[in-house]
Amino acid sequence: MPKSPRFSPNPRNGAVRVVEVLAYPDVQLLDVTGPLQVFATANDLVSESGGTRPYVLHVVAKSPQGVTASAGLAIATRSLPRAGAAPDTLLIAGGPGVEAAAADRDLVDWVRRRAAKARRVASVCTGAFLLAASGVLDGRRAATHWSVCAELARRYPAVRVEPDPIFVRDGSVWTSAGVTAGIDLALALVEQDLGRTTALAVARYLVVFLKRPGGQAQFSTALSLQSAEDEFGALHGWISGHLAGDLSLPRLASHAGMSERSFSRHYLQATGLTPARAVERLRVEAARRLLSETRQPAKRISQRCGFGSEETMRRSFLRVLAASPQDYRSRFSS
């Protein structure tokens, strides 16, 4: 193991926390192993620094014989705890098998009872469907994988589904977006328990960012435009480096070496967006990063990202995100 950064062991308190990760047949492998590895690495680093390992980790399932993940790998599990000490953290993994799990009344009842005992509850990806079926998410904000946000909202109208954030905390209940976002969520939980220095040491060892802000988009505009990478990849790179400049249709068409009419037609076919809408979304994406990660005033951000004025930026935010820049910063600033 490489040398880890120095930090004081158990910086918040010396309590040992039991983390139960619920699995089931056809669970998403990384939804289980990603968060587990974050907690396990925290154990290793704290132990190396002379402290008591802060987490006891249990993967639990209805079947004590284990479950097979959707990737085909078998996962060893413990039986669902029915009594005894309450867990500190109950984490519900997602995966293709969540439909059957959410339809299992015994399992849903267990989640409801266990969640009521735990200090905090979390779900990764489509694990939110199982939490929602148990009633734990009623009246709360929640995140899940971007592809099923609308379905979660339709099926459980009492849940306030937020399609954008990679994770959401509402009181003692945490929910995350898809797959790798479970690692971001687990890092945030470690930070809450053991402090930022410990969480940073874990992130460094795992070679991941310490903290993508909870409000960071789980599906970026830049990523969505990669479908047109062959035809317009160079243009998108140029746009990203010139957001404060002239990105009018004539300027874009000229840079692409096409007539305005031909460029507009080909760009829409390749990306599903008009050039103007793509530029707006790229500018909004850049602005929201600055709003969440810096203390720069909104006026300065609007100029850096090419909006020209705060009012123009506000209108674009409302159109793209249904939230003003001020609301976005107050909710998602790190």
How far, rounded to the nearest angstrom, does the alpha carbon of residue 102 sit from its chain's CA centroid? 22
Strands (E), the chain: 17-22, 55-61, 67-68, 74-75, 78-79, 89-92, 120-123, 141-142, 160-161, 167-170, 173-176
3-class DSSP state for residue 57?
Answer: strand
- Cα gap 208→307, rounded to integer Å: 32
Contact indicator for 145, 96 with CB cutoff of 8 Å: no
- Cα gap 8→6, rounded to integer Å: 7
- Residue 287, amino acid: A
DSSP per residue, 266-278 = HHHHHHSS-HHHH
- Cα gap 94→313, rounded to integer Å: 36
Residue 88 tokens, joined:
């500190």
Residue 138 tokens, joined:
């009623």
Give φ, ψ of 174 to 5 degrees. Answer: -115, 140
Closest to 206 (Cα-Cα) out of 228, 184, 231:
184
Strands (E), 205-327: none
125 flagged as catalytic: yes
Strands (E), 14-96: 17-22, 55-61, 67-68, 74-75, 78-79, 89-92
- Residue in this structure with the two tokens 């954030």, named with its chain if needed: 165
- Residue in this structure with the two tokens 């005992």, named with its chain if needed: 117
Tell me which of 59, 69, 125, 323 is the catalytic residue.
125
Residue 5 tokens, joined:
């950064």
- Residue 256, amino acid: A
* Residues noted as catalytic: 125
